[in-house]
Amino acid sequence: MLYVHGGGFRVLSKETHWIMGLALARRRLLVLNIEYRLAPRHPFPAALEDTCAAYRYLLAHAARLGGDPGRVVLAGESAGANLVASLALACCSERPEPFARAVFAAGAVPRAVLPACGVFQVSDPGRFGRRRPLPAWVRDRLEEVSESYLGGAPADPTLRELADPLLVLERDGALARPLPPFFLAAGTRDVLLDDSRRLAAALARRGVRHELHVFEGEIHAFQAFAWRAAARRFWRLAYAFLERELRG
């Protein structure tokens, strides 16, 4: 498993998310818990470049480390969910970005993707407030994430598409390879919930096998609070999904 931490593309690290890697490793998974360059010092596509490089490293070294390069899973939460969704797209579509071309050329599609509580469209953060009023501090935080991550992004809109994997999947057009199954989850008190619902709808329209689990009353990244009943239920569902997808 390649696990990619969240933090609005600006903060946190593999050290803040070691418990995620440990929990997954206890399920007999080989876990590569990675770091990536952070915005605003390193805007898009730096984080995705690093995530793609880590995936290629895992494919090249999984067997040496005791894993199976044919049974790789991608997982992450929040910003990390965005990055693994974009990585999955790079695995399955021929794109112009050098880092995406290198991933596609590796020829390996992950067995499954688990992007929890994801921000699947970084552009247009004002969309959340158009649906319902948001507190000023929430609007500011969403705008800050978008500005810091996209502030130095390429001017060519084609080269910044993978910051918004949701928009890519909502468009018409077949991919070169079938997408793997997705496990999506978010809480009803998470402002980002709409992104998971839209992604589930886009996957359904494309015929991609997926699950969407919505947890009543839960906040953003609730699954990290392992002592809560909803978090324990999330992990039970995620483990069951992994066992089904990795069987055989």
* Structure confidence by residue, pLDDT tens digits, 154-177: 888 889 999 999 999 999 999 999
Q: What is the DSSP letter of 145?
A: H
pLDDT digits (tens, 9 = 90+) for 45-81: 999 999 999 999 999 999 999 999 999 999 999 999 9
Give helix 46-65 / helix 98-106 axis angle, nearest 10°.
20
E strand segments, 61-220: 73-77, 112-116, 182-187, 210-215
Cα–Cα distance, 1 to 71 (Å, whole number): 9
Q: What is the DSSP letter of 211?
A: E
pTM score, two decimals?
0.97
Residue 145, amino acid: V
Geometric angle at alpha carbon 175, from 172 and 177, rounded to 5°: 155
> If you count them, how many residues does the chain have?
248
- Boundaries of every domain in the chain: 2-242
Residue 94, amino acid: E
Structure tokens at 181: 């199954």
pLDDT digits (tens, 9 = 90+) for 105-133: 999 999 999 999 999 999 999 999 888 88
Q: What is 2-242's CATH topology? A: Rossmann fold (3.40.50)
Cα–Cα distance, 193 to 171 (Å, whole number): 20
